Every structure is written in C-alpha cells, then in structure tokens.
Structure 1
Amino acid sequence: MTILTDSTEYFEETFKGLNNAAQQFIGITFEECEFLDCDFSESWFRACKFTNCDFARCNLSLTDMANSQFFGVNFKDSKLVGVDWTRADWPQYYRDFELKFTRCMLNDSSFYGLTLNELVLEECKVHDADFREGDFTDSQMTHCTFDRSLFVHTNLTRVDFSDSTGCAIDVLANEIKGAKFSTEEAIHLLTSLGIELVD
C-alpha cells in the first residue's frame, strides 16, 4: 500500500485506490501525478502543491485545502462536496489556474471572492455553491446544474453557461457582459428585472 509522506516531492507517479480518508498531509508536492479511485474525504492537505495533476473517480468531499496550491489540475467523475476553495493559496500574479472539473459533484462548495479566470465546469452538479464576489471571466460552465448557488457581485464576463440550468443570476447585481445562456435560462434572468413575459 502506498503511503504519502509529508514534505516529499512526487513526479509523474500514479496513485490508485488509496484510502486516505480523514488523514493529514503537510508540504507534499505533486507534479504531473495521476490519482485514480482514491478516497481523500475529510482529509487535510496543508501547504501542498498540485501541478498538472489528474484526479479520476476520486472522493475529496470535505477536504481542507489549507494554503495548498493548484495549477493545471483536472478533476473527472469525482466528488468534491463541501470544499472551501478559499482556504487554498491562489497567488495574485495568476488569474487563470487552468482548473477543470468534468462530471463532478461540487455541491456546497465555496469559491467566494476568488479570481479563477477560464475555469472549466462541464456536466457538473454545482448546487448550493458560493460564487459571490468572484471573478470567473472567460470561464466555461456548460451542461451544469446550479440550483440555489449564489452569484452576487460576481464577474461573469464572457462566461459560457450553455445548456446549464438553475442559474439564479441577478443581471443588475453581477457583470454578465458577453455571457452565453440557453434561451430558457435567459428568460429566467429577466425575472430579476421584474419583466413579465406574455404570449
């Protein structure tokens, strides 16, 4: 069984089937690593670095990412419920961290106040998430469900919401210039303007 060691650097390694729920990891660097079918739920990654890594079919729900850094990381078919991404370390000299989530569950996650330009969310369930005060310019958030997620003072300039549903976005309280919505969702946006549509 593979044991992750604190303050260690891992390069081009594949970790498969790790069961590391509710464990603590400190100062580990992962570069070009792959995680397959791993369970890190309720674990604590403190001051770790993930660069050009891939997670597939992993459980990272309620994981604490305190002071950890992410760049070029892809999550596929993974569960990341209740993750507070604001606890991670996002250097101000970057705006695009090349993060991508595909067919992931991101319910109850917080992206409050973060600048994550060109963020990619594809076919994800993003219920009760917090995007307030964030900057997600040029992001792709397609085929997702955003039921009860919060968008207030959020920069959604040129964000592609094609085929996404549940987007309760007040057009007066958010920046949505150049954003794309499916026709049905665009009609819902008009409710924030007090407009009544008639046949």
Structure 2
Amino acid sequence: MGCSLLNGEEFSSQTFKKIQCPGERLEAKEFYECQFIDGVFTEATFDRCRFIDCTFQGCDLSLARVPGCTFRGVTFEKSKLVGIDWTQAVWGRKQGLLNSAAFVECTLNYSTFIATEMPRLRLTKCVARDVDFAEATLTSADFTGTDLTDSRFWQTDLTEADFTGASGYAISATLNTLKKTKFSLPEAISLLYSLDIVLSGDEDRV
C-alpha cells in the first residue's frame, strides 16, 4: 500500500495497515482517533501535523522529523522510533495537555527529549538507550521495565516518576529533582554514586 496520507488533510477514525511512507513529507495533516498498523515512516517528515488520540502499532518511524507537530493522547506500541528529535514537537503545558504520549515495548535509542514538558509520560518495557532527557519536565512519568542504558538525566524534574524494574540508568540525586520518585533494588544503588559518601562493606564492620 502506498502513502495514501498524501491525499486529504483531515482523517478521523480510520485504520491504516501496512502503509508505506518512507521519506515522504506530510504537511498540516490532522488525525483524530486513527490507527496505524505495521506502517513504515522511516525518514518521513511530519510538518505541523496533529495526532489526537491515535495509536501506532508495530510501526517504524526511525529518523522521522516532527517539526511543529502536536501529540495528544497518542500511544506507540511495539514500534521503532530510533533517532527522533522530539523537541521539535509541541508538548505539555504549551498545549495545556495532561497526557502527552505513551510508548509501550518500543525502541527509542538515540532520541532527544531535551527540555520537553511531558508530565505523565509513559515509557514502559522499552529500550531507550542513549536518550537525552536533560532539563525535561517528566513529573509522574512511568519508566517501569525500561532499559535506559547511557541515557542522560540532568536538571530533569522526575517528581513522582516511577523507575520500578527499569535498568541501566545513571541518575544523579543532586543534579535532578527527585521527590517521591520510585526506584527498585538493585538498580537504585546507582543513585549513591552521585553522593559524597563512603560505603563500607561487611568486612569493615567491627
């Protein structure tokens, strides 16, 4: 199936299966309650598009560009989203959004969320290696079960975020906002490395 999205400006309650749009440019398209299943959007450009209550399942959006795009209530499931600069999109308070996006069992390696406002972001059971979350507002975010190896957290607001079962993260307790943030052992021990303390093993006890 070709890229039928090039025809039309507004789409509502439609299901697009195995649509092929690699490298295509889509401008000012609006999607409401649409489903994208097994679609290919590698290196595509979504310029000022709106996605409201949409779902992407098993899609490949690697290296896609999203300048000026609005996402509200969008869910990505088992999709590949490698190398995407999400800072180009419109998130959070700028649109008065309570729920920005959900990523479930997705691959988001080498992506960027710098300074984004994404309260209640859901990033569960994903592989998110070398992802930059610096200066982002991720209050009440859900990172449960996600591989965060080499991802960057700096001046990030992680108030009430949940890292239960997450792995590979290196989060400084002094350079980020951690209030009622949930962690699980043994991964949570990595938080101690950012503190100016000395740990003694059992062999040092008298």
Q: Could you say which TM-score interval applies, normalised by the shorter chain? A: over 0.9
Residue deviations 1:39-92 (CA, integer Å, cap 9, x gap): 001000001000000000000000000111100000000000000000112361
Partner of 1:25: 26
Larger radius of gyration between Structure 1 and Structure 2: 2
Residue deviations 1:3-49 (CA, integer Å, cap 9, x gap): 11366100000000011111110010000000000000100000100
Partner of 1:165: 167
Output the amino acid matched with 1:82: G
- Aligned partner (choices 154, 157, 169) of residue 156 of structure 2: 154
Residue deviations 1:129-167 (CA, integer Å, cap 9, x gap): 000001000111100010110000000001000000111
Structure-2-length-normalised TM-score: 0.93
Between 1:184-193 and 1:155-164, the stretch displaced more is 184-193
* Alignment pair present for 1:11 and 2:5: no
For structure 1, the 5+ residue unaligned runs are none
Partner of 1:60: 61
Moved over 6 A (4+): none
Offset at 1:95? 4.8
Q: Is the 8 A contact 1:108 1:127 kept in 2?
A: yes
The alignment of Structure 1 onto Structure 2 pairs a total of residues equal to 199
1: CA distance, partners of 2:183 / 2:34: 35
Output the amino acid matched with 2:185: T
Q: Is the 8 A contact 2:72 2:97 kept in 1?
A: no
Percent sequence identity is: 38
Offset at 1:97? 3.1
Output the amino acid matched with 2:183: F
Output the amino acid matched with 2:178: I
Q: Is the 8 A contact 1:39 1:60 kept in 2?
A: yes
Partner of 1:81: 82
Structure-1-length-normalised TM-score: 0.96
Over aligned residue pairs, what C-alpha RMSD do you find? 1.3
